Amino acid sequence: MRFSDTLNQSYTAIKTQPVRVLLIVLAMSIGIASVTVLTALGESARLYIVNEFQALGTHLVIVLPGRTETTGGQPPIFGETPTDLTLADANALLRSRHIAAIAPINVGAAPVSTRGLERETTIIGSTADLRQVRHLSLAQGRFLPASDSNETLSVCVIGRTIKDELFANQQALGQWLRINDRRFRVIGVLASEGQSIGVDFDDMVIIPVAAAQTLFNTQSLFRILVEAKSKTAMYKAVDEIRAIIKARHDGEDDITLITQDSVVKTFDDILTALTLTVASIASISLAVAGILVMNVMWVSVTQRTSEIGLLKALGATPRQLLWLFLTEAAMLSVAGALSGLLLGKLALVVLQTIYPDFPLYLPAWAVAAALAVALLTALIFGVLPARQAAKMDPVAALSKR
């Protein structure tokens, strides 16, 4: 039997039962639509977050003092105190050929005031390189000057919120700002960044790192942000940073290195798992649709018993009958899947109109998977009724009217 004939025969058989077809197509399309919409939502969330991270640069290495490890043993326990990271450590890293920029970071909270207005805010001590490393942009003025990081220049760059709160309708550039008991001249205002992975750059004052160390009376750094020259250079940079710091800390390997891409990967993994979970839950509706396909095919086989007997008498082999009924089930499912995809697409378009800011995106693999699953369900659930048709006793089938 030719394939085109099989299709044609199945099609004419389906055509005689429009209500049944409508029911299957409806059930199947609801299943497929829910799978595609949920997959699209999950996938879009993943892309949104991954992009957010990648905007920070994927070549970023974060150097933290101390190391995650278990120390000690028999009591009394002598825990190790990690050696502090210092500015000298940070400067030493410049020796590595693979590093493009280094931003030592010192963080503290302090009251900021000007002309009677005061506000408790986060103070970040860093260098000119911070701008490059965190991809900061300025609304007015300029960033910290590129000078020796040991110099305690009395200048600061303020975030958007600070500017609005303390210099409401006035020019902020060139004004003096008092942080604790020291005065800093405002030389730049950051463009509004919004939340950037938990750090609110809008509500922040950036001062030179040496000034921050004096302000908070400390020699140690909170962390060092390092930007490698490229993705491949990043791994070499990690090794070199470890070697350089180890040499400076009396052979003690007491820092923790976090690469930006490992953070991205973690989020990526979590959200992919989430997407798959949600899609699996939605695919329960596909299984239900599959059972409906099976039901309809049972009815179809039972109703056409005498026709099956006749086909056997005319020389249809069991395999041909199996394929005839499987093709019927597959056609119904594919019709359902296609209308489901259409329905899903429609839902996405509606969602996109309601939430224009959220980038909605239906990945091609989800479309392919939905079609494949629909076809598979049809074949799995269609096979039992089709086998019944194929195995029917022709004499008994023919005598049924």
Partner 1 sequence: MIQLEHIHRYFQVGEQSIHALNDINLTIKQGEYVSIMGPSGSGKSTLLNVIALLDQPSSGRYLLNGQDVTQLNDEQLARVRRENIGFVFQFFHLIPRLSAAENIEMPMVLAGIAAKERKQRVAEVLKAVSLADRSDHRPDQLSGGQMQRVAIARAMIMRPGLLLADEPTGNLDSQSGREIIELLESLNQQQDMTLLMITHDKSIGQRAERCIRIIDGQVS
Residue closer to partner 1, measured from CB, 15 or 95: 15
Shortest Å, Cβ 297 to partner 1 = 17
Binding site for partner 1 (CB under 8 A): 1-2, 5, 9, 12-13, 15-16, 306-307, 309-320, 394-395, 398, 401
Beta carbons of 228 and 241 less than 8 angstroms apart: no
- Locate 367 and state its tokens: 């479309």
Residue closer to partner 1, measured from CB, 248 or 304: 304
Residue closer to partner 1, measured from CB, 94 or 395: 395
Helices (H), 249-363: 260-303, 305-313, 318-354
Letter string b/e over residues 5-40, b meaning 16 or more CB atoms within 10 A of that residue's CB: ebeebbeebbeebeebbebbbbbbbbbbbbbbbbbb
Residue closer to partner 1, measured from CB, 16 or 353: 16
d(CA 183, CA 205): 13
Shortest Å, Cβ 317 to partner 1 = 4
- Locate 209 and state its tokens: 């790192």
SS3 of the chain: helix, strand, coil, percent, to 5:
55, 20, 25
Shortest Å, Cβ 382 to partner 1 = 20
Shortest Å, Cβ 8 to partner 1 = 8
Shortest Å, Cβ 9 to partner 1 = 7
Shortest Å, Cβ 307 to partner 1 = 6
Residue closer to partner 1, measured from CB, 152 or 320: 320
Beta pairing class for 117-126 and 204-208: parallel
Overall size of the chain counted in residues: 401
d(CA 84, CA 309): 88
Identify the residue whose tokens are 């409508």: 22
DSSP string, 66-105: S-------SSSP-PPPPPPPBHHHHHHGGG-TTEEEEEEE
Residue closer to partner 1, measured from CB, 22 or 197: 22
Distances (CA, A) of 370 to 33, 162, 283, 329: 9, 50, 9, 16
260, amino acid identity: Q
Shortest Å, Cβ 320 to partner 1 = 6
Residue closer to partner 1, measured from CB, 141 or 318: 318
